[in-house]
């Protein structure tokens, strides 16, 4: 039985590298265990072949970690502080949580409820 594993490693939008391996195992072998082995080999190969990109890749999602844009954080603060209703403010909570602005969000919610 042939077991194959391939993975795309993104560098930037529309720029990827594909790394893959295939092995032949006995018919009574465990293909799931072999896929895990091949997955580890792909990740190791990516790290070794691309030392500048490998630390930026989240291997759980396969997506590069985006750097935080300070302008986006400032804009989010402005949107939170400019909210006029709790309903409007609620729409900003996921981003406030993502960028560490829950304190600002909580203060604004408290002021809107008063």
Determine the pLDDT at residue 36.
Answer: 92
What is the distance between the alpha carbons of residues 42 and 8, in angstroms, rounded to a whole number?
Answer: 10
Residues listed for the chain: 114
Q: Where exactly are the structural domains of the chain?
A: 2-64, 70-113
Q: Residue 54 has which token pair?
A: 């490998």
Determine the pLDDT at residue 34.
Answer: 93
pTM: 0.46
Low-confidence stretches of the chain (pLDDT < 70) are 53-67
- The pLDDT tens digits for 42-59 are 988 888 887 776 555 555
Q: How far is CA 88 from CA 12, 27, 50, 69, 97, in A?
A: 33, 59, 44, 23, 16
Q: How far from chain centre, in Å, is Cα 19?
A: 19
Determine the pLDDT at residue 61.
Answer: 55
- Is residue 59 within a helix (H) or strand (E), and if so which, with residue range? none
What is the distance between the alpha carbons of residues 59 and 66, in angstroms, rounded to a whole number?
Answer: 14
Determine the pLDDT at residue 65.
Answer: 58
């Amino acid at each position: 039985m042939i077991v194959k594993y391939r993975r795309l490693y993104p560098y930037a939008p529309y720029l990827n590298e594909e790394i893959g391996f295939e092995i032949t195992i006995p018919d009574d072998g465990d293909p799931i265990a072999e896929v895990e082995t091949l997955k580890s080999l792909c990740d190791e190969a990516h790290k070794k072949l691309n030392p500048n990109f490998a630390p930026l890749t989240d291997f759980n999602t396969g997506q590069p970690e985006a750097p935080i844009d300070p302008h986006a954080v400032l804009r989010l603060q402005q949107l939170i502080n400019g909210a006029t209703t709790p309903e409007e403010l609620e729409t900003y909570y996921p981003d406030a949580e993502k960028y560490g602005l829950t304190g600002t969000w909580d203060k604004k919610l408290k002021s809107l409820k008063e």
